[in-house]
Structure 1
């Protein structure tokens, strides 16, 4: 059989065509490796697509070729290369379907569902089959995931592949649930309409694996860091080349742990590195920026190239240190709520003395809080950071950097405080946001470290007999108990012991806890002076102790928390 008869390609097609052309179905053959994408792979995949979507000159985004083999059924293809991408795309569609239903957008939800399932009539009943089938070991778990008929926390993966799938879906839900629904729809429309692949279909599995091996051996898509490496090393003499290659390897190795697992992708680091030098670029423009010498780093000769390699290495070490908990508590707080873009300012401010760095990082945390509270896009924030980073490079422009950050905070302040009143505990993204806020509120009152405490529902999630005085039921009750004013912090054993007990039974436990929790049932005593940071927080909070708990108490405590939030993130910084 000739190659031309054994192999064909439809050329460049979008994801919509991939999933809908000729009523096609895809199957992962049993000899294929497991689903292996990590949480970071998922985040990078989503971020790269969003970045392409939001670029000023954006049109389409190419995610590479996929290799398939014909099955016995001509409409069914074995997936030889592309399992990670096509699985992740179907999980994204399943998450979009789930969230759209939660938002009451049934029509939009049905549209996403039709892209992952094919409906058919069988003996007078409507049935459905998924457009992707995994091999037997994982398929039942995969099918349950894309149905997503119950909370993600209730799924029980049984092997490594299933754990990876579960982590992928959990990460996707965390990432996309942070978007307003209109933005989610915009993102998904771009994913299916403007993200392209080149499918290559072979007549047999043997031919498909031969094509796959050839592509991976000789034609793998080069990443920005690969292109940059070639750019730097080709400008070195033969005598300098080996030393340059070793420098590059040292830099790349810093970005991974001893087992080779990346802390961050090299392209993400390079993007943030350039931003910290004052140049905002998308990932697909990283190489071009260096090639055209558009960055503030010069690479015209060997000395400049080695200076750059050393600077990359030193900044990568510092960057990874921040990622692994080695930075200020303010930077760690920004990372805790998922804003990795804060590392741009972390890099830009690394040369400042401790006092100035602390001030910058405190304002950065207030800025990040404002964006997190309002659900604003972090990429918008990221575009402001290069200009601030330039100011941070110069001693006499430090105050300008402070002023620019304060202006950004002020722009979001009122919306952020208003958002707290509506904040609720629901999705994984919301839980991350609420946990951070509660720990920050608690710490401001007495300085404790509450990173190990868990969220307690004062009025319990499951309405016990001690709560019959609360008239709300069903969805209305669920929304009520998840309001910020009904949430506090407790050690896990104490939390587990209280569950749905009555408020009177909870009072004794609350009395011995952190100030935020204790203040629910006991008046807070100040330290005897009005000048300590804790007294100022207590004065702003103005809590009201009680021996009963009802809807009005949730409203009052929410208002008190807003006052305390205003003090922590704004007033104390003169904003």
Structure 2
């Protein structure tokens, strides 16, 4: 990011608002959404700065601004905090106005009121001689803010406004009550209020990041998100699309339609990331884009009203498939399809999603189901057992998606022809499996181990049972915390062998509790009583449990696994 397009500095609230600069919330930025929990937190933070021996300052976090002329700034991130502080100042001003109307130092309080308005709320335009607000809100909130809150109206109307406007009004009234309580015992409450605002404006400070355009703003979002600061790239993407529509004759109608459809998709996605869905959708139809490049790619490709609505229509077409992949339990898919989607989620493998979106649009249901199952097998061989780098895999899946989208591949077998590149052959898979360890101290890994052991048990003995059932647990034959009786394994062997797949079996829960960390000679009779074929077979075939026997068992399991996770059309 060029230094000329990027500036960072710390500024207090006074330094931000106490000048001739103007701040605007983009018209279609999200609405005001803070509630009492956030108001209370901010109030407590402010209170901590008020005593003479209190905190010297309170940090309000990042504020991301965009400007073309260093006079008017669009608030890309930070609108909730800026709006709420403005409401506190306005609530102070309405109290000052009421004190003056009640005859409490009326001249002094009106002068204080005028000074606060000039400093923090609005200024006199030298050309038009009209007052301009220093802060303008979005399209749903600005009219109420401008017409009722900034004017310090005695009566704040409550009917016919969106929920976000009610939240803003409630915030204003909440802070007004706190402020009245704050100064009720002061000798001069007007002076106390003015002093409160002055202290607040000097002690609340932000790290202000100023950028020259939306592309740089998006890069800032990516950087801050990488550092754990939660910002909304979704809002930035939406704002760009709105800016495209704003150029047309039907802007108001079209922007309302975009708002409705966009918010509908965001609502349906729920906890899923909208940018992640958008990237998967994009990569299922267009050139490959990484998450960090997504905004730039969309900005370069979506530049007309027609293309904006094409994008919306196509996202609508893909969102059901994406949700079925990411939230299979709530989908209407068949049990087999849900199972495959759940396994991909368990593996944390998302690279196939663009291909699967394209496949759902272009393949028959039978071929899609076969491809979904084949994707699970590839993910297991390539990602779970092989732990291979995903960069090449992502490139191959994108190539498959493009073949599907372009109708170059119209059958399951034709897609498989592309996927052969990321399907580890039997020999490579057996080698990887023979040496595989999975540390079950992590819950996700434990779930995968249960899945593997149950799948192998089903293949070996035909017993089909729920891998998540509490009736069975993972038994580490060589215990995770061995006591006496395990001298065959030295300290180095313990780390090497405890989490090898051959050292783990499924065992009835009651039996597992009974044997604990006992030596193998004591465990063996219990293992022999298990209903699990592979568990019983381990005890039958091994009079003792030593590294050599463990290695031999894992080779046998590798051969069995090759028959479980395989694609017959490739093998």
Match of 1:254 in 2: 268
Which residue of structure 1 aligns with residue 534 of structure 2?
Answer: 516
Cα separation, 2, equivalents of 1:231 and 1:464: 63
1:387 pairs with 2:406: no
TM-score normalised over the length of structure 2: 0.53
Where do 1:531-546 residues align within 5 Å?
545-546=541-542
**In 2, Cα distance between the equivalents of 1:559 and 1:227?**
53
Name the structure 1 match of 2:416. 402
User: Hey, what does 1:568 align to over in structure 2?
Assistant: 564
Aligned to 1:361: 372
SS of the equivalent of 1:349 reads helix
Alpha-carbon spacing, 1:3–1:365, altered in 2? closer, same or farther (3 Å) = closer
Among candidates 447, 456, 481, match of residue 462 of structure 1 = 481
Q: Is the 8 A contact 2:436 2:501 kept in 1?
A: yes
Number of the residue aligned with 2:357: 347
Q: 1:568 to 1:561 in 2, by over 3 A?
A: same
Q: Per-residue displacement from partner, 1:14-69 (whole Å, max 9, x unpaired)?
A: xxxxxxxxxxxxxxxxx979xxxxxxxxxxxxxxxxxxxxxxxxxxxxxxxxxxx9
Structure-2 residue corresponding to 1:444: 459
Query: Which deviations, in whole Å up to 9, do the C-alpha atoms of 1:71-95 show, x marking residues without a partner?
Result: x9xxx9976427xxxxxxxxxxxxx
For 1:374 and 1:253, the matched residues in 2 are separated by: 37
Structure 1: where are the runs of 5+ without partners? Answer: 9-30, 34-68, 83-203, 257-261, 523-544
Q: Does the 8 Å CA contact 1:278/1:389 hold for their aligned counterparts?
A: no
Matched pairs, number: 355
Aligned pair 1:308/2:311, yes or no?
yes
> Would the alpha carbon gap of residues 342 and 473 (structure 1) be closer, same or farther in structure 2, given more than 3 Å must change?
same
- Kindly report which structure 2 residues correspond to 1:74-473, keeping only aligned pairs within 5 A, or say none: 80-81=60-61, 207=202, 209-211=204-206, 221=221, 224-233=233-242, 234-235=244-245, 237=250, 238-256=252-270, 262=271, 264-293=272-301, 300-302=304-306, 305-325=308-328, 326=331, 327-351=337-361, 352-369=363-380, 370-393=382-405, 394=407, 396-398=409-411, 399-410=413-424, 414-426=427-439, 428=442, 431=446, 434-445=449-460, 446=462, 447-452=464-469, 453-465=472-484, 467-468=485-486, 470-473=487-490
Cα deviations across residues 413-457 of structure 1 (Å, max 9, x unaligned)?
A: 644432222222436375565444333323433243323343211
* Superposition deviation, residue 213 in structure 1: 9.7
The answer (yes or no) to whether the contact 1:254–1:313 under 8 Å persists in 2 is no
Q: 1: CA distance between counterparts of 2:267 and 2:260?
A: 10
Shift of 1:281: 0.4
SS at match of 1:230: helix
In 1, Cα distance between the equivalents of 2:529 and 2:11?
78
Q: TM-score scaled to structure 1, two decimals?
A: 0.53
Superposed displacement of residue 546, structure 1? 4.0
Distance change >3 Å, CA 562–CA 571, structure 1 → 2: farther
Greater CA drift, 364-373 or 447-456:
447-456
Contact 1:349 1:357 in 2 (8 A): yes
- Kept in 1: contact 2:12–2:206 (CA 8 A): no
2-structure distance, mates of 1:343, 1:208: 48
Query: SS at the partner of 2:360?
Result: coil
Matches within 5 A, 1:48-67: none
Structure 1 residues 322 and 493: alpha-carbon distance in aligned structure 2, compared to 1, 3 A threshold: farther
Alpha carbons of structure 1 residues 7 and 272: separation in structure 2 relative to 1, 3 Å: same
Greater shift, 381-390 or 413-422, is seen at: 413-422
Change (3 A) 1:214 1:391: closer
| Distance in 1 between residues matched to 2:282 and 2:529, nearest whole Å | 51
Q: Provide the secondary structure at the position in 2 that maps to 1:456.
A: strand
* Mapped contact 1:457–1:481 kept (Cα < 8 A): yes
Provide the rounded CA distance (Å) in 1 between the counterparts of 2:414 and 2:319.
Answer: 27
Q: Residues 223 and 267 of structure 1 are in contact (CA less than 8 Å); yes or no, is this contact kept in structure 2?
A: no
1:210-249 deviation line (CA, Å, top 9, x unaligned): 436999xx99958553343234334262223212210111
Per the TM alignment, residue 337 of structure 1 is displaced from its structure 2 partner at its CA by: 1.5
* Corresponding residue SS for 1:519: helix
1:344–1:385 CA contact under 8 A, matched in 2: yes
SS of 1:274 mapped into structure 2: helix
CA distance in 2, matches of 1:358, 1:494: 39
SS at match of 1:454: strand
Partner residue in 2 for 1:475: 492
Structure 2 vs 1, CA of residues 552 and 284 (structure 1 numbering), >3 Å: closer, same or farther? Answer: closer
482-491 vs 265-274, greater mean Cα deviation: 482-491
Q: Distance in 2 between matches of 1:406 and 1:273?
A: 23
Alignment partners' CA distance in 1, 2:341 and 2:348: 11
Higher radius of gyration, 1 or 2: 2
What is the distance in 1 between the residues matched to 2:544 and 2:13?
A: 79
